[in-house]
Structure 1
């Protein structure tokens, strides 16, 4: 029975009982209804008070470096367990994404918009600056790693319509595996890794590590960790709890990726005076060089990436005294190998796709598409301006997909 029907029935009952020639000055039916409404309001207010107390209790137990409570299914770095009940998600506008001409064969993050390789435009609200992003398989959205903030880095799960939810907050550094199914992060002296399933972190493992150690990438399930930013040395953390074993490698300066056979492609500092040359590293021998011969000296710093088939390395270096992105043929790696200029110096993420091309942003904010066949005939790539970017912004090339 509805509220109005209940009121009519009460009034009719009082009317039959009074049988008066005119309605009394006071309305007994209205008084009963008003009393019932007052009781209902008091009960509702009491229930809301209990909910408010519960929310305050959850929020107090889930405080983090920021001003807002942590979102649902998030892990606040430094807390022993996730807090599953305090919900906070950022929802995209109800309007559907626009469709435009694709800018590239890979997804791009342009400010607060994701431009997909299919030509869609997805607005991502509330996530702030995005430094790296990974597209999940089967159209399930993206994982986005935020730029550093006073509260640390954030890992966001972004749905296909742009709704964003925090999975991880307060980290010094965050890295994902190539499938977007594992994450590793560092906070202070804690190194941690977990799986990602159904928008949640699972199976978290923690280890004690030097404060200057930084996770760089996943290598066949292990996490590659640089021991210090200002000196050579890396170690593969096998995701075991307890103190981090620093290993014996003290010569590798940069590591760019892995070959299909598991060997890593990196730089090692050798000789007197010490010089950095390109080499293959053996993950089963504490990253010792896999062969006696060193490859070319690159002379640069910053990012680099190995193609999916393990044939090519795209890396920052120097050619004839000028900084540039270089293409190295890993099939003939040795002292006689000659890197070829591929384009302007890279910044941010370098992404190879299955078509044998690579994308990156140059230091001026342009988008560069590297075609191996063109580089081999000495035709370096040129940057292209990306429409829709604000001054000072650069496109972020999205991995995965």
Structure 2
């Protein structure tokens, strides 16, 4: 083929111009290297995060399974009436390492300020408001604490053994617990309610309309003893399963202190305008009356677990104080003197061996019937850690098999 010089020069120029317009590939691409390194680092971080999330999920799941298996831990929301905000706070448990100590004979659990001091000298911060009454739950499951009446009325807390407190009720006018801690009754608004306590929850609630001023006073088996208001007065027994409150009420029954093992009740009645002690049948009818000592009108007192003894405020001779009454000889035996200072608050019986209560000075009074029969009286012990004008709250509730308070 005939190729001129001009054609060769043009072909050379075109070839060179194309080579200049096309960038030469670099042996190493810095941008590509940086991008690839960043992607590898991101993949490593993602894999590490997924692994940690998996471990955390396993640990949390195991912890929830362990908490769910503990007795007394609720798995559904508790029943709260009113506004519980600011009522209870959660705090460390315990606040003071429990010192090694042996239980003291006849010792009881006490609430001192905001702390619980058990019979075996362990101290716990309850994390609840000021307490008015407290009761042990069965089988060492913790405590139920009824708050003092305030502008927001009363509250009820469940304090599991080793766990934070939980508000069960708030804004109730009055709260009463059954002796075994498995039932609760309260007044809220114009109704009286009753329910069971299981796993620190209130269940199977029943409510009925009640007259003005009527409040639950105590449990008598599966019935609730209701104290009438200023107009109706007296007491009546309400069976929640039966529906509405019964009409009427026994106006001669002024106070009820407790239930004997055979179902009779120990109470205060009026006989001919005089205040007397009496044993009542299941319908609140007096079956035995003793008008020797004069029981006080404050309604404070308690019956021993075996039903023999009644410790109650009253007047013997010209002196006021706590009276120990033998209910087996109520119509014959008359105490000739008080056996201890005036009762303030609840009385805790440790089986039939002894009783403990707080007196008006904030001291803990303890007595034993056998020593009283021998001429003795209650011994008072000052309680440390009390604020001025405060008093310890004696914890009541079911004792263990040995007759001592359960503090497990």
Same fold, judged at TM 0.5 (above)? yes
After TM superposition, list the pairs within 5 Å mapping 1:1-400 onto structure 2.
21-23=29-31, 73-77=77-81, 90-93=90-93, 97-99=97-99, 101=101, 105-125=107-127, 127-228=128-229, 232-240=233-241, 242-271=243-272, 274-284=273-283, 287-291=284-288, 293-302=289-298, 303-334=300-331, 337-338=334-335, 340-400=337-397
Runs of at least 5 residues in structure 1 that lack an aligned partner in the other structure: 1-17, 38-70
CA deviation after TM superposition for structure 1 residue 342, in Å: 1.6
Q: Which residue is 2:57 aligned to?
A: none
CA deviation profile, 1:253-289 (whole Å, cap 9, x unmatched): 1111112211111111121xx11111111223xx121
CA deviation profile, 1:333-354 (whole Å, cap 9, x unmatched): 1166335422000001101112
Calculate the TM-score normalised by the size of structure 1. Answer: 0.75
Query: Matched residue of 1:246: which SS?
Result: coil
**CA separation of 1:94 and 1:238: change in aligned 2, threshold 3 A:** closer
Rounded to whole Å, the distance in 2 between the matches of 1:259 and 1:393 is 32
Query: Matched residue of 1:374: which SS?
Result: helix
Bigger radius of gyration among the two: 2
* Contact persistence 2:313–2:321 (CA under 8 A): yes
* Contact persistence 2:304–2:352 (CA under 8 A): no
CA deviation after TM superposition for structure 1 residue 238, in Å: 0.8
Rounded to whole Å, the distance in 2 between the matches of 1:23 and 1:389 is 75
* Contact persistence 2:224–2:237 (CA under 8 A): yes
**CA separation of 1:232 and 1:94: change in aligned 2, threshold 3 A:** closer
Q: Which residue is 2:22 aligned to?
A: none
Runs of at least 5 residues in structure 2 that lack an aligned partner in the other structure: 1-25, 46-74, 398-405
CA deviation profile, 1:149-199 (whole Å, cap 9, x unmatched): 222211111122251011111111111111111111111211011111111
Calculate the TM-score normalised by the size of structure 2. Answer: 0.74
* Contact persistence 2:354–2:368 (CA under 8 A): yes
CA deviation after TM superposition for structure 1 residue 72, in Å: 6.8
Rounded to whole Å, the distance in 2 between the matches of 1:233 and 1:241 is 21
Q: How many residues align?
A: 336
**CA separation of 1:94 and 1:309: change in aligned 2, threshold 3 A:** closer
Q: Which residue is 2:56 aligned to?
A: none
* Contact persistence 2:326–2:333 (CA under 8 A): no
